[in-house]
Structure 1
């Protein structure tokens, strides 16, 4: 009992360190990017977009290196399920009626659904190999190029607006000198990312051995929930501030990066083994969650009742995962 409590505390503590380090890393990298004059849209589609998925990425790569590759699929697919059922559900409950004017159906939703289906087809044989990883990373590159092109158009519109304001003598932006401590924060965040991810993986393996639960199950539930906290904070805040596009888009980008980027990058360090529990239950639940998201968002609005429905689905997911019913 004491060993379970000890490793449970280590798990919670390491997850907290991992998530906090990810937040500091993203903020520091964004500040440095601005300081070097990197375009805001490049920062948006690279540093900020990838930053919220840093906990999943670092913990998954270390899991493969440490010989526990089954954690990767559980973490990735569990995070995608959590993002849709729990985070989107809570966002819809917390916010007002979520109505978006952004045209998701053209590219974003097809890529979102396609990434989940492609991953499911690839892992159906119980393994995720290097050629499959390279194909996923190629698909991710296509998505990033699309995101860059969209952001470029938006930034050009913002630039025209700023030029008009400056011509009228309004809105002269002040340049800020970059604080040297930002570099120290970036370095320390990388160090703590490694420490947090390392002890997260070790504690998951230890808890799995002690309580007799598969590491992939812990990864799909507790690890997935813990590493999805950045997405939870971003989406819920956006919903509360009546910014549904940010809440909805954050989940789309995160799930695409999880399915294509994290799985792809992790497999560069070794073959990712897919346990039967993942292919038999977690993977089908990810597909169901993805299709539900597609249906709910298709008409560009989401109600409180749909939010409660998604949260109930998440409760079912956890209950079934731990054989509670």
Structure 2
């Protein structure tokens, strides 16, 4: 027992003797369900937090629901969560609303290994990928080379999008129809044209994968990481980086200002950046790492990452714009597009 306690204590000390935070206590992590929640438990909770004495509890619900809950709890001295897993645009939004802490990177020893463009002040980036063209090569022998070629009304109900990706779906349609991710009115018109033609809307990533596997759809748009994961599961699908330039997706974590266990939150963020965690998500989920020492094998890196030329053409989302239009976008998506 003494040896185990010593090992746990050592695991909470970073290079140079920096403490990662007080061990033990209840740690509530707000996150999506499905594969992502399972992999957080597999790669972060059980290997790093539980041995250090933390009781990790996952609070599973969608992004909008968790944000609404954070806003409702804003005036409380103690909120109900210590960490929230969110997409990059949403991470910015909750910070701008004054709901989350500015990140103190001095409390995260592993942050020294973050890539230069992966160090925002509003949260810690964990993994990233990009929106690509997805298709079944048996049913569509000629590979589409652009978003516009796959999101075409001629395919009717043979293509689909995912409900929870509403923001990126609108951004992709805007890029096709208006030449910019912020041309959302043009994007809405294209999406409505696709919807009238029979475009399918799937509630989750897992439901979308089932649609591909059963042949209900021939493709659509999706994160490259997911495409690789589905290939590994035996689903007949190929991924192509669009010639318009891919739209990135970055997933990370924020700390609510009224997090009950602030030390535990920082311990969690440090664990997110552990090389073994980053490698685990690359292997199991196909997402690229945000640190320089992840040790991702070259062959895997070539499959999950993007070339320098592709990164140079990347169409990053305008966080401020999408924050200002979030209510309008979500309302339109739920009440008009899905109606």
Fold conserved between structures, TM > 0.5 = no
- Say which structure is richer in strand: 2
* Greater relative contact order (CA < 8 Å, ≥ 6 in sequence): 1
User: TM bucket by the smaller chain?
Assistant: under 0.3
- Say which structure is richer in helix: 1
TM-score scaled to structure 2, two decimals? 0.27
TM-score scaled to structure 1, two decimals? 0.27
